[in-house]
Amino acid sequence: MEIPKAYDPSQAEEHHYARWEASGFFAPEINQDPNAEAFSIVIPPPNVTGTLHMGHALQHTLMDVLTRWKRMLGYRTLFLVGVDHAGISTQLMVTRQLKKDEHKTPRDIGREAFTAKVWEWKNKYGGEITRQIRREGLSVDWTRERFTMEDDLSRAVREVFVRLYEEGWIYRGTRIVNWCPKDKTVLSDLEVKEEKAKEGKLYYLRYPVKDGEKGREGEGEKGSGREDENPQSVIRDPQLTITVATTRPETMLGDTAVAVNPEDERYKTLIGKTIALPLTGREIPIIADEYVESEFGTGAVKITPAHDSNDWEIGERHGLEKLIVMNDDATMNAAAGEAFAGLDRFAAREKVVEEFEKLGLLEKVEDYELTLPHCERCKTIIEPLLSEQWFVKMDEMRDLALKLMREENSPRFFPEVPHKKVYTTWLENLRDWTISRQLWWGHQIPAWYDADGSVYVARTKEEAVELAGTNDLTQDEDVLDTWFSSALWPFSTLGWTWRPVGSRQAAEGSSSPQSANRQPPTDLETFYPTDVLVTGRDIIFLWVSRMVMTGMKFMGERPFDDVIIHGTVLDKNGQRMSKTKNNGIDPLVVFEKYGVDATRMTLAGSATGVDFAWRDERVDSFRNFANKIWNATRFCLMNSEGAAVLSVPVATGSPVKTETTRGNPVATASGSDLADRWIVSRLNKTAKAVNRALETYQFHEAVQLLYHFFWDDFCDWYIELVKDDITSCDTETEGHGDAELGIPQSAIRNPQSDARSRILTILEQALRLLHPFMPFLTEELWLKLPGISNGLHNAAYSSAEKTIMLTTFPTGDASLIDEQAESEMQSVIELITKVRNIRAEMNIKASDSLSIHIAADAKMQNVFAANDAQIKKLARADKIVLADSLDVPKASARAVLTGNAEIAVPLEGLIDFEKERSRLKGQIEKLDIELQRLNGQLSNASFVEKAPAEKVKELRDRKNEIETQISTLKENLNALG
C-alpha cells in the first residue's frame, strides 16, 4: 500500500463528512438499540448573519467531542443544530445592503417588502455558517436543523407569549427604558454596556427660587456648621437660588421638580416652595425625598422623570408630571421649547450651558469621571427614555430558577466557581425584561388593537378577532427580543406544541422498520431535558438563565443538567479578539494551515473555562501529533501482510490475553510478551482515565492522556520494542520465539502475523480513543486498516456501513491493567535510558556497539533476560551480561537503577575519566539534594509521629534506596581514582 510520508489534512477532510452525513450516522435513528439511553445537546444557535470565529470553534469542538464519545458508547445521540434570526444585527445588515444597492431605507419599501428582503438575504447568505459547521466536522443532525424564525418555532413563541400574558407574567407598560437613538429601538439591560466617558463634566446650575428673597429665614443659622466647608450660593445671591449638579444639562428642559433630602438642614425651609425654571418659563416644586444624598454634589437634585430612571421613580412617588423633551433620535422636541427643538441632545447641552452662563446661573463646571451606557451593537450612547413597551415580569420566573438552584443545585456549572454564584446573584437582583423591539425582523408581537386601543393578545389574528368581536384590528408593530425565542430553544426545537405526541414524522432519517402498532416516543420525550449545554460566559444571563426559566415554566423540567462555560480565546497578546482591533484569528485559515483535527485538539486541550491566548505554535504541535499518528499507522500498514485488526471480544477493548479462543493469535502471544502486556495495560489505563476525564468535562486532561499514550507509550516504546518482530522479512525464518518456546509450527499462524495483528489491534483501539477529538484523521486511517468491518461497531450500530465513528469507545478493562508488567517495563525503560545517557554524555557514536553489564537480583535478571533482544536493539548493545555483582574493568561508565541494580558499560579506550567523574558527581549531587530533604523530614519527630504511617514508610524506603544508590555511585567514583 502506497501511503504518503506526510499527513495531508485537506485530503482527508474532503470526503468523509459528506459520507457520514449522507449515511445518516449523525441522526439518532442510526441507533438500533431500542433500549439505548438518550444523549442530547443543542447547539447555541449562531447568528444567521454570523461567520465562524474561534469562540464557536472552541464551543463546537467540545460539544462534538462529547457527542461522538457518547455515540460510540452506544447512546441514542442527538446533537441538534440550528441558527438564530438575530433580530437587530440581521436587520442592520440588510438595511445597509438596501442602502448600498437601491439607496433606499426600510421605511421606503415598507415592512412587508423589507422582511421579504431579509428572507431573501437569509436564503442566499445564511448558509455560510452551516457550511462552516460542516467544515468543523460537527456530528450534528442536519435532518433536524432549525431556524428560530421558521413557522414551527414561531408558533412556539406565540404560544409562550400568550400563556405568559394570560397569567399576567407579560404586561405592557410605560417605563424608562434603554433607548438607542441610532437603531431607534429599545434594548434590554443586558444589551447595554457601560463604558467610561472620555470627558465627563459635572455642571452646577442655579435655579432661582420663586419669591426667594423672602423664603430664606432661618436657613443660615441652621446650616452654619457647613457653610465654611461648602459655602452655599443660596446665601450670597441677591436672588435666592438653589444649585443642582448635573452631567446632562439638556435634560433640565424636562425638569419637573428639584428634590432634596428631607433631613437636610440647608434646604428644609425650601421644601414646598417652587422654582422658576430658567429657559422654560415653567414653575416646578422643591420636594423632599430620601433618595437624595445630602453629601453628594449640592445635595439638591434636578428631577427629570421622563429621562432618568431614578427620577422617574421619584416622579411616581410624588405624582410629578413626566415631560418628554426628546424625539426618538435624541433630538429635542417641541416640549423643550422653540429655541431647542430639533437640536441634537449634545448641541442642546452646549446651548443650555451657554444660556445659563448668560443668565449668570452657571455656577461652575467640574471634570467628572463617569460611565455611560452604550448600545452594545452600534456603540451609541443610550438615552433613557419614557416609553410604552412590553415586559416580562421576572418575579415568578426568577423564583423558578432560584428554586431549582437552591433545591437541586441545577444546573451544575462547570467550572462551578465562579459561575454558580454569579448566576444566582444576578437572578436575585433581576429586574423586568423589556421584550419589545422597534424592528421589523423578528417575531411580531401577537397583540392586536381595536379602534379604541384595547389590546387583544392571541395566537393568531383569527383568535384575536374572536376575542375582540371585530375585524378592525391592527397588530402591534413591534417584534420580540431575539432572546425571547432563544429562551425556548431546548424544547421549541424538539417539537414543543407543534409536533403532536406520538406522531414522529417518517421523513426524518430512519429507514428502520418500526413496528406499525407501537408509537415511538417523540423527540421531545426522548431528548428533553438535554444533557449538557456548552456556552460562553457572556450569555449566562442572556440565554442560560432564560432557558432555565422557560424550561421550568413550560416543560416543568430543567432544560439541561450541566452547563459547561468555556473560556475566551484571546489573541497572542492576551487581548480579546474584536473587529475594531482587527486581531481576530479566523478558524478557517487555521483549518487550512494545520488541519481541522489539529485545531480541535488545540481547542480541546485548553483547560475548561479558562481563557487562553491563541498561539499558532500550539497548533503546530498537534499538527505534528497528527502526522505522528499518520506515520505510526503508515508503519503498521507497511508491515501488515498476513495480519488483521482483531475483533476484540470484550467491548471495552482488550485485544490481548483474553483467554477466549485457543487459536486467538493474541492469546498465544510469545516473543514480545512483556511489551504486549505492558501496552495493553497502558491502553486500558489510558482509556479509563480518558473516560473519567470526559465525564467531568476535563477535555484537556483527556487530550494530554491521549497525546502521551500515543506518542510516548505507543510510538516511542511499543513500536520500537516490537519493531523487529513485525518487520523481519516474511521469507526469513522468524526471529527468536516460537521454536525455542516449543510452540508447534502447525499452529496455523506464524508469530510475525500475530505480532502484526497485535500492533494493529492496539493501534485501532487508540484511533477509537482519538476519534472524538480528531474525527477526520482517525476515519481516514481506520478505513485503511486490514480486517476492519462493521463487526467492530458498537452493537447498536451493527448494520451501519463501516466507520470508526460507530465503533465502541474503549472504556478500559481493569482486569487488563497489569501493574507488574508496568513496573517491569519501567525497569527496562530505565535501563535503556541510562545506557543511552552514558552513550550521549560520553560521546559514543551511534555506530559503536557496546556491552552492558548488569548486577541485579534474580527477579530483575529474569526481566532483563526475557527482553534481551529489545534492550540490545534500543540501547544499541551487542552484549548483555547479567550477574549478581559487577565484574568489569576500571574503564567503565556506570549507573544505578531503581531496585538496587547497577549497570556498567566497559569503554576501553573510549572513556574520558574526567567526564565520567563529573557525570557521576552530577548524579550523586542530584540524589544528595533529595536525600537531605528526606533526612530533614524523617528527623522531624512530629512528622514521624503525626504523618500517616504509610507516608513515613514511603519516605524511609525512598531514603534507603537513595542511600544505596549514592554509596554505589561514590564507590564507582573512588574506583576511578
Nearer to RNA, 262 or 520 (CB): 262
Nearer to RNA, 29 or 734 (CB): 734
* Alpha-carbon torsion, ordered 669, 670, 676, 681, to 10 deg: 70
Nearer to RNA, 197 or 235 (CB): 197
Shortest spacing between CB 172 and RNA, in angstroms: 23
**Residue 508, Cβ density class (10 Å: 0-12 exposed, 13-18 middle, ≥19 buried):** middle
Q: How far is 151 from 169, CA to CA, in rounded Å?
A: 24
Size of site (CB under 7 A) for RNA: 96
Q: Which of residues 206, 566, 634, 793 is near RNA by CB under 7 A?
A: 634
Q: Which of residues 474, 820, 940, 967 is near RNA by CB under 7 A?
A: 940
Nearer to RNA, 429 or 517 (CB): 429
How is residue 37 annotated by DSSP? P
What mask of x and - would describe binding to RNA in positions 571 to 610, judged by CB under 7 A? -x-x-x-----------------------------xx--x
Near RNA in 637-656, by CB under 7 A: 638
Shortest spacing between CB 779 and RNA, in angstroms: 18
Return all residues near 390 (Cβ < 8 A) that are at least 6 apart: 170, 171, 172, 434, 435, 436, 445, 447, 476, 478, 480
Nearer to RNA, 298 or 658 (CB): 298
Nearer to RNA, 545 or 803 (CB): 545
Shortest spacing between CB 111 and RNA, in angstroms: 33
Per CB under 7 A, the segment of 211-219, 452-460, 544-552, 831-839 that binds RNA is: 831-839
Q: Among 678, 657, 669, 689, which Cα is nearest to 827's?
A: 678
Q: How far is 427 from 394, CA to CA, in rounded Å?
A: 9
Near RNA in 42-61, by CB under 7 A: none
Nearer to RNA, 97 or 621 (CB): 621
Nearer to RNA, 6 or 741 (CB): 6
Alpha helices in 276-394 (DSSP H): 309-318, 345-358
Rounded to 5 degrees, what angle do the CA atoms 973, 976, 977 make? 100
Contact 96, 86 (CB under 8 A): no
Nearer to RNA, 313 or 868 (CB): 313
Say whether 384 sits in a helix, a strand or coil: strand
Shortest spacing between CB 309 and RNA, in angstroms: 7
Q: Among 683, 659, 877, which Cα is nearest to 762's?
A: 683
Per CB under 7 A, the segment of 129-137, 432-440, 441-449, 628-636 that binds RNA is: 628-636
Say whether 432 sits in a helix, a strand or coil: coil
Near RNA in 6-35, by CB under 7 A: 6-7
Nearer to RNA, 309 or 333 (CB): 309
Near RNA in 946-975, by CB under 7 A: 946-948, 951, 958
Nearer to RNA, 6 or 116 (CB): 6
Shortest spacing between CB 481 and RNA, in angstroms: 16
Near RNA in 894-923, by CB under 7 A: 922
Q: Which of residues 32, 233, 269, 624 is near RNA by CB under 7 A?
A: 624
866 lines the binding site for RNA (CB under 7 A): no
Rounded to 5 degrees, what angle do the CA atoms 665, 668, 670 make? 110
Nearer to RNA, 276 or 577 (CB): 577
Q: How far is 138 from 65, CA to CA, in rounded Å?
A: 9
Q: For residue 241, give the C-alpha cell.
A: 437660588
Q: Which of residues 359, 370, 739, 795 is near RNA by CB under 7 A?
A: 370
Nearer to RNA, 554 or 714 (CB): 714
Shortest spacing between CB 304 and RNA, in angstroms: 9
Near RNA in 408-447, by CB under 7 A: 417-418, 421-422, 425-426, 429
Near RNA in 690-709, by CB under 7 A: 698, 700-701, 704, 707
Q: Which of residues 145, 189, 355, 363 is near RNA by CB under 7 A?
A: 189
Q: How far is 775 from 803, CA to CA, in rounded Å?
A: 11
Q: Which of residues 39, 340, 441, 612 is near RNA by CB under 7 A?
A: 612
Q: How far is 271 from 418, CA to CA, in rounded Å?
A: 48
Per CB under 7 A, the segment of 549-557, 629-637, 646-654, 771-779 that binds RNA is: 629-637
Contact 144, 508 (CB under 8 A): yes
Return all residues near 737 (Cβ < 8 A) that are at least 6 apart: 670, 671, 725, 743, 751
Say whether 292 sits in a helix, a strand or coil: coil
Nearer to RNA, 401 or 626 (CB): 626
Q: Which of residues 621, 660, 918, 935 is near RNA by CB under 7 A?
A: 621
Contact 46, 129 (CB under 8 A): yes
Shortest spacing between CB 250 and RNA, in angstroms: 12
- Cα of first residue to Cα of last residue in the chain, in angstroms, is 58
Per CB under 7 A, the segment of 20-28, 406-414, 611-619, 746-754 that binds RNA is: 611-619
Q: Which of residues 97, 438, 470, 837 is near RNA by CB under 7 A?
A: 837
263 lines the binding site for RNA (CB under 7 A): no
**Measured in whole angstroms, how far is the alpha carbon of residue 917 from the centre of its chain?**
54
Contact 852, 879 (CB under 8 A): yes
Nearer to RNA, 621 or 660 (CB): 621
297 lines the binding site for RNA (CB under 7 A): yes
Q: How many CB atoms lie within 10 A of CB 956?
A: 13
Query: Which regions of 224-269 does DSSP assign to beta strands (E)?
Result: 241-246, 257-260
Per CB under 7 A, the segment of 623-631, 660-668, 751-759, 849-857 that binds RNA is: 623-631
Per CB under 7 A, the segment of 139-147, 819-827, 836-844, 849-857 that binds RNA is: 836-844
Per CB under 7 A, the segment of 66-74, 290-298, 757-765, 878-886 that binds RNA is: 290-298
Q: For residue 380, give the C-alpha cell.
A: 451609541
Q: How far is 94 from 153, CA to CA, in rounded Å?
A: 22
Near RNA in 515-574, by CB under 7 A: 541, 570, 572, 574
833 lines the binding site for RNA (CB under 7 A): yes
Q: How many CB atoms lie within 10 A of CB 468?
A: 19
Q: Which of residues 371, 512, 696, 932 is near RNA by CB under 7 A?
A: 371
Q: For residue 821, give the C-alpha cell.
A: 508488567
Shortest spacing between CB 545 and RNA, in angstroms: 12
Secondary structure element (H or E) that encloses residue 170, with its range: strand 170-180
Shortest spacing between CB 288 and RNA, in angstroms: 13
DSSP string, 435-482: -EES-SSS-B--EEE-TT--EEE-SSHHHHHHHHT-S--EE-S-EE-H
Q: Among 54, 60, 62, which Cα is nearest to 694's?
A: 62
Near RNA in 299-358, by CB under 7 A: 299-302, 308-310
Q: How far is 269 from 247, CA to CA, in rounded Å?
A: 27
What mask of x and - would describe binding to RNA in positions 220 to 259, judged by CB under 7 A? ------------------------xxxxx-----------
Nearer to RNA, 497 or 923 (CB): 923
